[in-house]
Structure 1
Amino acid sequence: MRSPRRRPLLVPVLLCAAVLAARPAPAAADGEHGFGDGLGAQVARLYEEAAAASQEYDAGRREAETQRARAQRYEELRARELRELGRLRADLGRFARAQYRDGGGLPMAVRMVLDGDPDRLMRGQHVLAQANLAVGSALGKRRAAEERLAADGARAASAWQVLERRTAELAVLKREIEGKLEEARWRLQGRAAASVAAGACPGAVRLPRRAVHSARGWVAPVEDYRLSASFGSGGARWARRHTGQDFAVPIGTPVRAVGAGRVVRVACGDGFGVQVVVGHPDGYFTQYAHLASVTVDPGERVSAGQWIGQTGSTGNSTGPHLHFEVRVTPEMGSAVDPVPWLGERGVGLG
């Protein structure tokens, strides 16, 4: 028996807009209505390529910044070593001048005769010799350190320049892929809109299965998004109140089943455009609307995180987004707020 809190709401609420009067047509066979050339699959492939290119570009930028910082650090250390070398050279010059002033230019025998204490003279001479050796050794070490830092700095600078060139190449590749993706996205959206206008739903686009393993068994319906219209908000495009949560994402963004279940509906032809409804074992249903393509058929079992469609702007929609709804029945008018519903299942939205 269903829990009382899951009974259908008595007052039906219209989602995203007034539902069109036309009834959804049966789902077309796979490959019909212009989807047979693999446009949805092309968008999915370009989507993944763009994501991979962005990751590689970002990694390249980070590595280039690391190498640049390393080169700058070596240059700072080298400058410090040069300053130390200059000070040691100045110290050696002072020792030499002091030795000259103290008679360092006279033969040792003459200096011993003139000095009243030969032992003191010898001790002073020994100290001076030791000081000269110490300064000379320090100069040698500093010079070696300066040469080593110069070589390390040159290698770091060279690596940085190589990475900068590679990152520039990646930026060009990233822009090319994103340009192709944007073009393919709008072609996909155009075909989906034409299909919906003709009253025939596009068939499922067969893509490689994509699943996200979650310890909780639940995931967000899209990965990268910006939350827009929320549950219960008002607007001129809705008959009463908004009954779902909208996710602003580009066309062609993979849509994921939030949890395991079975597809109970794939439809189009009303204000939701192309949509998928999934029934879950706990008695709830989730709806994914305004899609540009679907990748599942009615009756198909899905797992949490599995791709079930691609976002679009079909139906009564002013721009690309996913309308996500949670219901206690498969039908509209029984919606509950999806944000706390997902939160109870360990999925936070923000």
Structure 2
Amino acid sequence: MRRLGIAAALVLAAVVALWIAALKLLPDAPADRPRPVPASTAAVAQLPGLLHVPVRGVARSALRDSWGDARAGGARAHHGLDIPAPAGTPVEAAAAGMVEKLFESHDGGTTVYVRSPDRRWSYYYAHLAGYAPGLAEGQAVQVGTPLGFVGDTGNAGAGNFHLHFGLSRTAPDQHWAQGEEVDPFPYLVGRAPRR
């Protein structure tokens, strides 16, 4: 009987150890905030993973989630992540892909759209002061490839130097500016998005 008790205690200890190990493998829970990403098996299979911080020299710990913050006096919600940095700081590709569009827009100013190799993600870089030398549509980029420089173009406001980084889930046949906007913050700081 005593052997049975010892065996049961060992089995219980092993189960507890496995449970603790499994908890350590799970990602940290993000802040309790609604996220626009719908839960679905297809969506989970397409997650882009941890992204490179697209402004050179900015630490992950310095990033602040600005998704949903009021803009234009409350007329619209912010859909992206603003990364403040000094004017002219290099902006780098957050993920591998292809430069799909170099675009000058009223709101985003000087912008770059990069599409993932499977065309299921679009990475948007806005308010740039200018493009990296030689950057061209159709160009393949790797993580860290220079794309441009932090600026205040578009509706950023004079002297409000930052990169607006956007992330969209797209279908392969969608246009470069289409797709479902997704909060990029969890993908830059290493937290699982809320589903």
Q: Following the alignment from structure 1 to structure 2, what is the Cα–Cα distance between the partners of residues 255 and 323? A: 11
Structure 1 position 312, deviation (Å):
0.4
Tell me which residue corresponds to 2:76: 240
Q: Following the alignment from structure 1 to structure 2, what is the Cα–Cα distance between the partners of residues 279 and 232? A: 24
Q: Following the alignment from structure 2 to structure 1, what is the Cα–Cα distance between the partners of residues 73 and 65? A: 11
SS of the equivalent of 2:153 reads coil
Query: Normalising by structure 1, what TM-score?
Result: 0.35
Q: Which amino acid aligns with 2:168?
A: R
- Any unmatched runs of 5+ in structure 1? 7-215
CA RMSD of aligned residues (A): 2.8
Aligned residues with identical type, % of pairs: 37
Tell me which residue corresponds to 1:337: 183
SS of the equivalent of 1:304 reads coil
Tell me which residue corresponds to 1:326: 167
Q: Aligned to 2:141, which of 302, 308, 327?
A: 302
**1:238–1:253 CA distance, 2 compared to 1 (3 A):** farther
How many residue pairs match? The answer is 136
Q: Aligned to 2:57, which of 217, 224, 228?
A: 224
Structure 1 position 217, deviation (Å):
8.2
Query: How does 1:286-297 map onto structure 2 within 5 Å?
Result: 286-295=123-132, 296-297=135-136
Deviation string 1:177-209 (CA, Å, 9 cap, x unpaired) is: xxxxxxxxxxxxxxxxxxxxxxxxxxxxxxxxx
Q: Following the alignment from structure 1 to structure 2, what is the Cα–Cα distance between the partners of residues 218 and 247? A: 14
Contact 2:51 2:95 in 1 (8 A): yes
Query: How does 1:158-237 map onto structure 2 within 5 Å?
Result: 218-225=51-58, 226-227=62-63, 230-236=66-72
- Any unmatched runs of 5+ in structure 2? 1-40, 171-175
- Of Structure 1 and Structure 2, the greater helix share is in 1
Query: How does 1:1-350 map onto structure 2 within 5 Å?
Result: 5=43, 218-225=51-58, 226-227=62-63, 230-236=66-72, 239-282=75-118, 283-295=120-132, 296-318=135-157, 319-329=160-170, 330-331=176-177, 334-343=180-189
Query: Normalising by structure 2, what TM-score?
Result: 0.61
Structure 1 position 231, deviation (Å):
1.1
